[in-house]
């Protein structure tokens, strides 16, 4: 007879990781949020200060954004019921794309229904069999999935390490026709900023194109939150910029922006764009209003950075290893996965909502608490979070323990040993 058959679902029945954490009372995921405000959430009937959100500009509750969503529902209903390629293309989508292109300083923009689809669609469409992607090792999962679908090769370089990137370029560039250097502008776990000017320099030297994922830079970096290219004054040298609306712009969706011919090609070739339903009217209108607010109300960006600097200085001063983060994403290096889950639980019980990050999202033994801050945080809420973090840091032996702190510093050097780039 032939080979013995097996059940494709067998692995599901024997997978125990989540069950073990649930039985130990340490499972930190899928916590149900019952309501939200500018800087807090209600979970299990209790208010908790939120320091795990990507709502950087604090616009999810802005009156103008809420009103824009309501108006869109009244005019267009609640959904488009089809792809933009066919029956789901609204005038709102065009208005958003035109506004984005102007804001970002690009010829044209294309809006996808998710940021994940934007990366997946653009990369898989542009990179052919004779082409190569040079990808930072800490790039977001959506970039990784895009590179897997791309027909060409993907070569990874050490995180934010321009010497390693050039080493690989020297060794491999002549083997390929087209080449694309792809990296996050702000890295979502470590919170550091891509060395974009050096990337641009290498791209020109080795005849590559540059693709920057600004998911965590939109609304955060640049004079008006326009992103990494504007932060460094080299936006014209970035061939394609991608971003999401699920963070600073308070909704969902994503975009690609660049030269008109390139964007038009993606528009007519990218399957995740062509064969997925259009961004719903309320979401589109919300993002469009966020775009206007980002340009008309600079106080949100100012408040964001005031809060981020306060927390960075305080947490570093306590003795936490924050991996030299230079953005509102401030990781707290813990080390052990289970200890990080226990720390998360203790934070939650004390009224602070934060998110743990463990392997494989970070190297094994480098688990961390990913904290992030918003323009809408009040001083009182931030002070409360700091009080809790100091108490628990001491309780867990993370703070005030010289041996432990030295070990954390060694971990950081070994696994996150990039050169942080300070804001301009």
Q: How far apart are CA 329 and CA 247, in angstroms?
A: 12
Q: What are phi and psi of 399, to 5 degrees?
A: -105, 150
Same domain? 103 vs 152: yes
Which one is catalytic: 140, 216, 231, 300?
216
Quote the tokens at residue 295. 């340009």
At which of 253, 272, 296 does a domain end?
296
Q: What is the pLDDT of residues 85-115, one digit of tens each?
A: 999 999 999 999 999 999 999 999 999 999 9
Q: In CATH, what number is assigned to the domain containing residue 184?
A: 3.40.640.10
**Does 422 score more than 50 pLDDT?**
no
Same domain? 78 vs 184: yes
Q: What is the pLDDT of residues 321-353, one digit of tens each?
A: 999 899 999 999 998 999 999 999 999 999 999
Helix, coil or strand: residue 422: coil
**Does 302 score more than 80 pLDDT?**
yes
Same domain? 111 vs 215: yes
Task: Check residue 290 and give its pLDDT.
Answer: 98
Average pLDDT, the chain: 94
Read off the pLDDT of each residue in 180-199 and give the average, rounded to a whole number. 95
Q: Which helix (H) or strand (E) holds 181?
A: strand 179-184
Q: Confidence band (pLDDT; 50, 70, 90) for 417?
A: low
Contact 120, 147 (CB under 8 A): no
Which one is catalytic: 93, 159, 230, 247?
247
Same domain? 169 vs 277: yes
Q: How far apart are CA 333 and CA 414, in angstroms?
A: 13
* Whole-number Cα distances in Å, 230 to 14, 173, 224, 235, 239: 49, 28, 9, 5, 13
**Does 415 score more than 80 pLDDT?**
no
Domain for residue 226, yes or no? Answer: yes
Residue for token pair 């897997």: 148
Read off the pLDDT of each residue in 3-17 and give the average, rounded to a whole number. 89
At which of 246, 268, 296 does a domain end?
296
Task: Check residue 190 and give its pLDDT.
Answer: 87
Same domain? 214 vs 75: yes
**Does 270 score more than 60 pLDDT?**
yes
Percent of the chain that is helix, strand, coil (3-state, to 5): 45, 15, 40
Q: Confidence band (pLDDT; 50, 70, 90) for 2?
A: low
Helix, coil or strand: residue 42: strand
46 is catalytic: no
Q: In CATH, what number is assigned to the domain containing residue 411?
A: 3.90.1150.10
**By residue range, what is the domain housing residue 371?**
17-50+299-415
Domain for residue 384, yes or no? Answer: yes
Task: Check residue 421 and give its pLDDT.
Answer: 36
**Does 26 score more than 50 pLDDT?**
yes
Contact 281, 354 (CB under 8 A): no
Q: What is the pLDDT of residues 51-82, one digit of tens each?
A: 999 999 999 999 999 999 999 999 999 999 99
Same domain? 41 vs 107: no
Q: What is the pLDDT of residues 214-233, one digit of tens each?
A: 999 999 999 999 999 999 99
Domain for residue 423, yes or no? Answer: no
Q: How far apart are CA 259 and CA 132, in angstroms?
A: 20
Q: What is the pLDDT of residues 240-249, one digit of tens each?
A: 999 999 999 9
Q: Confidence band (pLDDT; 50, 70, 90) for 320?
A: very high
Domain for residue 78, yes or no? Answer: yes
Sign of CA dihedral 357, 358, 363, 369: positive
205 is catalytic: no
Q: Given the DSSP bridges, would you call strands 132-136 and 153-157 parallel, antiparallel or unpaired?
A: parallel
Task: Check residue 411 and give its pLDDT.
Answer: 75
Domain for residue 2, yes or no? Answer: no
3 is catalytic: no
Quote the tokens at residue 116. 């994940």
Same domain? 171 vs 193: yes
* Whole-number Cα distances in Å, 382 to 9, 304, 357, 385, 409: 46, 12, 21, 5, 25
Same domain? 208 vs 280: yes
Same domain? 234 vs 333: no
What percentage of the chain exceeds 90 in pLDDT? 85
Same domain? 41 vs 117: no
Q: What is the pLDDT of residues 105-161, one digit of tens each?
A: 999 999 999 999 999 999 999 999 999 999 999 999 999 999 999 999 999 999 999
Same domain? 289 vs 354: no
**Does 424 score more than 70 pLDDT?**
no
Residue for token pair 């044209």: 108
At which of 272, 296, 320 does a domain end?
296
Read off the pLDDT of each residue in 369-389 and give the average, rounded to a whole number. 97
| Structural domain count, the chain | 2
Long-range contacts of 168-175 (CB under 8 A, 24+ apart): 168/134, 169/134, 169/202, 169/205, 169/206, 169/208, 172/132, 173/132, 173/206, 173/207, 173/208, 175/132
Task: Check residue 205 and give its pLDDT.
Answer: 98
Sign of CA dihedral 53, 58, 63, 69: negative
Which one is catalytic: 39, 135, 188, 312?
188
Domain for residue 8, yes or no? Answer: no
Task: Check residue 189 and give its pLDDT.
Answer: 87
Residue for token pair 């807090």: 40
Domain for residue 189, yes or no? Answer: yes
Domain for residue 11, yes or no? Answer: no
Q: What are phi and psi of 423, to 5 degrees?
A: -60, 145
**Does 420 score more than 50 pLDDT?**
no
Q: How far apart are CA 379 and CA 235, in angstroms?
A: 34
How distant is the alpha carbon of residue 91 from its chain centre? 28
State the Cα torsion 322-326-330-331 to the nearest 10°. Answer: -40
* Whole-number Cα distances in Å, 188 to 161, 169, 192, 197, 361: 17, 25, 8, 20, 11
Residue length of the chain: 424
Same domain? 292 vs 304: no
**What are the beta bridge partners of residue 47?**
42
**Does 181 score more than 70 pLDDT?**
yes
């Amino acid at each position: 007879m032939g080979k013995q058959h097996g059940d494709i679902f067998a692995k599901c029945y024997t997978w125990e990781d989540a069950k073990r954490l649930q039985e130990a009372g340490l499972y930190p995921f899928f916590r149900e949020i019952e309501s939200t405000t500018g800087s807090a959430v209600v979970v299990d009937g209790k208010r908790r200060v939120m320091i795990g959100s990507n709502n950087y500009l604090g616009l999810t509750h802005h009156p103008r954004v809420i009103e824009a969503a309501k108006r869109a529902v009244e005019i267009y209903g609640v959904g488009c019921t089809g792809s933009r390629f066919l029956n789901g293309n609204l005038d709102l989508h065009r208005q958003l794309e035109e506004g984005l292109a102007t804001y970002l300083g690009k010829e044209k923009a294309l809006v996808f229904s998710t940021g994940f689809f934007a990366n997946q669609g653009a990369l898989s469409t542009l990179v052919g069999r004779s082409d190569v992607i040079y990808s930072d090792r800490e790039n977001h999962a959506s970039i990784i999935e895009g590179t897997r679908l791309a027909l060409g090769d993907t070569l990874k370089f050490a995180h934010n390490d321009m010497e390693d990137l050039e080493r690989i370029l020297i060794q491999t560039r002549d083997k390929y026709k087209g080449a694309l250097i792809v990296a996050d502008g702000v890295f979502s776990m470590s919170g550091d900023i891509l060395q974009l000017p050096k990337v641009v320099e290498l791209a020109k030297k080795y005849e590559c194109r540059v693709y920057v994922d600004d998911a965590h830079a939109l609304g955060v970096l640049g004079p008006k939150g326009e992103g990494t290219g504007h932060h460094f004054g080299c936006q014209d040298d970035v061939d394609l910029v991608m971003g999401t609306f699920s963070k600073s712009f308070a909704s969902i969706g994503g975009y690609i922006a660049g030269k008109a011919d390139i964007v038009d090609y993606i528009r007519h070739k990218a399957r995740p764009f062509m064969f997925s339903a259009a961004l719903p009217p309320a979401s589109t209108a919300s993002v469009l209003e966020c775009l206007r607010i980002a340009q008309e109300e600079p106080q949100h960006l100012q408040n964001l950075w005031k809060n981020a600097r306060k927390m960075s200085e305080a947490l570093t001063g306590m003795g936490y290893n924050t991996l030299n983060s230079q953005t509102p994403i401030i990781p707290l290096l813990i080390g052990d996965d289970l200890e990080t889950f226990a720390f998360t639980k203790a934070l939650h019980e004390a009224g602070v909502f934060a998110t743990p990050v463990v392997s494989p999202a970070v190297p094994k033994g480098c688990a961390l608490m990913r904290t992030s801050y918003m323009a809408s945080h009040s001083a009182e809420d931030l002070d409360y979070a700091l009080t809790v973090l100091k108490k628990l840091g001491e309780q867990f032996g993370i703070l005030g323990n010289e041996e432990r702190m030295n070990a954390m510093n060694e971990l950081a050097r070994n696994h996150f040993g990039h050169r942080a780039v300070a804001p301009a």
